[in-house]
């Protein structure tokens, strides 16, 4: 089976993005002190590593090899939003990023002519992504006493604006490849 060049690029982009997520959360899991957050973060990074594996397997089943793409997206994110300076900011930027991932995969699953194997891979990944959103939301709620609810809200707002900026820039840059998926906005 010969797949469309744009789909090949998008699935490779997802794979690269999941690897970046796994490495980012893996570093965090290694540096955190023993806590519920350490435990959840460890499960989280293992999930993201599996997601990279699912996309790698999916590409293989479609008869293509993953494209080697720069891990620019996550880096742009940090550049636009500013490096998080504490655990609350790390969780806030993660929540914003995870929401973006979920909306992108939802949109992709609903777009026309999605091969079954791609739809199935998205469905499998989405089960984990729902949990990612949930544990981070709960952890942020628990942090309100320490960091202040308004401060957390403002931080989420700041990262949401940065997210929109980076996403729109990326969508514009890869307009032809993304096609219908470029309509993804939050
Ligand atoms: Fe993921
Ligand atoms: Fe995730």
Measured distance CA(68)–CA(30) in Å, rounded: 27
The per-residue pLDDT of the chain, averaged, comes to: 90
User: In the chain, what are the domain boundaries?
Assistant: 5-178
Listed range (115-119, 169-173, 178-182) with the worst mean pLDDT: 178-182
How far does the centroid of ligand 2 lie from the alpha carbon of residue 48, in Å?
6
Whether the Cβ atoms of residue 54 and residue 129 lie closer than 8 Å to each other: no
Which ligand has an atom closest to residue 125 CA?
A: 1
State the pLDDT at residue 72: 67
In 3D space, the residue among 172, 15, 25, 44 whose CA is nearest the CA of residue 105 turns out to be 15
User: What average pLDDT does this structure show over 80-86?
Assistant: 86
3-class DSSP string for 84-111: CCCHHHHHHHHHHHHHHHHHHHHHHHHC
39: Cβ–Cβ under 8 A, 6 or more apart, which residues?
none
User: Measured in angstroms, how far is the CA atom of residue 2 from the centroid of ligand 2?
Assistant: 29
> 97: closest CA among 153, 39, 164?
164
Centre of ligand 2 to C-alpha 5, Å, is 26
Q: Which ligand is nearest to the CA of 25?
A: 2
Q: 184 pLDDT exceeds 50?
A: no
Distance from the CA of 138 to the center of ligand 1, in angstroms? Answer: 19
Residue owning tokens 């397997």: 57
Top CATH class, 5-178 = mainly alpha
**Spatial contact of 38 and 29, defined as CB atoms under 8 Å apart:** yes
Which residues, chain by chain, have CB under 5 Å from ion ligand 1?
18, 48, 51
Phi-psi region of 67 (alpha: psi -120 to 50; beta: other; left: phi over 0): beta
Tell me the per-residue pLDDT of 93-151, one tens digit each, with 9 for 90 and over.
999 999 999 999 999 999 888 999 999 999 999 999 999 999 999 999 999 999 999 99
In the prediction, which pLDDT does 79 show?
82
Residue 44 and residue 135 in contact, taking contact as beta carbons nearer than 8 Å: yes
């Amino acid at each position: 089976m010969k797949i469309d060049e744009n789909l090949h690029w998008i699935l490779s982009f997802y794979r690269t993005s999941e690897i970046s997520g796994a490495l980012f959360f893996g570093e965090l899991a290694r540096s955190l002190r023993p806590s519920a957050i350490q435990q959840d973060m460890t499960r989280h990074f293992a999930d993201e590593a599996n997601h990279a594996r699912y996309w790698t397997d999916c590409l293989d089943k479609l008869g293509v090899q993953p494209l080697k793409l720069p891990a620019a997206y996550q880096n742009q994110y940090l550049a636009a939003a500013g490096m998080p300076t504490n655990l609350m900011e790390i969780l806030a930027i993660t929540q914003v990023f995870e929401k973006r991932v979920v909306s992108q995969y939802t949109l992709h699953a609903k777009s026309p002519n999605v091969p079954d194997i791609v739809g199935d891979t998205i469905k499998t990944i989405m089960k984990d992504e729902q949990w990612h959103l949930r544990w981070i939301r709960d952890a942020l709620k628990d942090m309100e006493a320490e960091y202040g609810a308004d401060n957390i809200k403002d931080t989420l707002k700041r990262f949401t604006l940065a997210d929109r900026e980076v996403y729109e820039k990326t969508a514009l840059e890869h307009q032809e490849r993304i096609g219908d998926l470029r309509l993804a906005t939050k």
